[in-house]
Amino acid sequence: MAQLSEANAPLYKGRDGLIRKYYVRSESGNEVGGIYLWESKAHAIDCYDREWLERVTDAYGTVPVINWLETPVVVDNRHDEIVVD
């Protein structure tokens, strides 16, 4: 998982509207995913196109499921700020 994630991480570097992406996996390793923080839902929708769907499905062997969550407040200790949408 770590090698696969590291290999595809450059695809997201500099991506328009993407603030941050976390690669995650369960302790058992049976579940993997990504947590993305976008400037807007429109930016996210632009990313999750057919090419993305095919690439992720091929890489992980299963069709990804997208759960939409809103982020009204972000505490960013690295930049010593609280961001309110």
* pTM beyond 0.85, yes or no: yes
Which has more confidence, 2 or 69?
Answer: 69
Q: Write down the pLDDT at residue 48.
A: 96
Q: Say which amino acid occupies 62.
A: T
* pLDDT tens sequence across 35-62: 999 999 999 999 999 999 999 999 889 9
Q: So what's the pLDDT on residue 2?
A: 85
The single-letter code of the amino acid at 80 is D
Q: Read off the amino acid at residue 56.
A: V
Is residue 14 over pLDDT 90? yes
Question: Residue 4 pLDDT more than 90?
Answer: no
Which domains does the chain carry?
Answer: 2-84 (3.30.70)
